């Protein structure tokens, strides 16, 4: 009963505010002031005759409705994505597991580059615990990788072609990992922590290579 009263009060207040401008245009300034006084008295009456805690519950009820709407939106998006996969004849109950197998198969074609990402993923995760920097702080880790590339560039052990190759490979790994992340989100399944670390390391490595390329071109 309290929630019903709160909902009615919220609806009443919304309609009242929407009609104030209309009232002002329809009547003169004095008449409009009298209407406001009358509405104020009506609101005071409603407040005094409404059970304690009802008005705060209006805000709580509105917040719950927004959270429910957001949750329903995410559910609809997941259902749409699964429906899309079904139409493409790609979706199976074990589609996530199949996607993991396909990812591993693709990474075996570029073992050197994926091994770099795995090592960086593990390294970032270990350092994150001691220096209190999250693994998904891409810019922080990217700057460290950039310095490494710039140093190798100055020593003559890395050129623009080499950095472009890294951008290509790291971008490919990021793209393939994002496919799995998208699928896992659609079926409401979490990826492993190791895969999360690899994804963050790949993103940071790609960004670091892009930073280094800009610096190289600027120096040339």
Indicate the SS3 state at residue 75. Answer: helix
174-196 tens-digit pLDDT: 999 999 998 888 888 889 999 99
Q: Which residue has the higher pLDDT, 149 or 86?
A: 149
pLDDT for 76: 67
pLDDT for 173: 97
Give the separation between CA 168 and CA 55, rounded to whole angstroms.
58
50-105 tens-digit pLDDT: 555 544 444 454 555 555 556 667 666 666 666 666 555 454 557 788 889 999 99
Neighbours of 99 (CB within 10 A): 17
Give the separation between CA 137 and CA 116, rounded to whole angstroms.
18
pLDDT for 171: 97
26-41 tens-digit pLDDT: 445 555 555 555 555 5
Under DSSP, the state recorded for 191 is P
Q: Is the pTM of this model over 0.85?
A: no
Residue extents of the structural domains in the chain: 2-86, 93-219
Give the separation between CA 167 and CA 116, rounded to whole angstroms.
13
């Amino acid at each position: 009963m309290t929630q019903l009263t709160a909902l009615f009060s919220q609806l009443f207040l919304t309609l009242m505010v929407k009609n104030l401008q209309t009232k002002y245009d329809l009547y003169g300034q004095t008449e409009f002031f009298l209407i406001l006084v009358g509405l104020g008295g009506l609101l005071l009456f409603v407040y005094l005759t409404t059970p304690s805690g009802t008005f705060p519950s209006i805000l709580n009820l509105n917040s719950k409705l927004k959270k429910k709407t957001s949750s329903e939106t995410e559910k609809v998006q997941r259902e749409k994505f699964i429906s899309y996969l079904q139409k493409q004849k790609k979706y199976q109950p074990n589609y996530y597991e199949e996607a993991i197998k396909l990812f591993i198969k693709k990474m075996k074609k570029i073992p050197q580059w994926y091994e770099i990402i795995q090592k960086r993923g593990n390294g970032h995760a270990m350092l994150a615990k001691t220096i209190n920097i999250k693994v998904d702080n891409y810019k922080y880790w990217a700057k460290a990788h950039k310095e490494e590339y710039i140093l190798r560039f100055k020593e003559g052990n890395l050129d623009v072609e080499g950095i472009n190759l890294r951008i290509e490979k790291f971008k490919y790994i990021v793209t393939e990992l994002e496919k799995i992340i998208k699928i896992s989100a659609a079926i409401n399944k979490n990826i492993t922590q190791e895969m999360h670390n690899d994804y963050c390391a790949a993103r940071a490595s790609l960004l670091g290579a892009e930073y280094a390329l800009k610096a190289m071109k600027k120096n040339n």
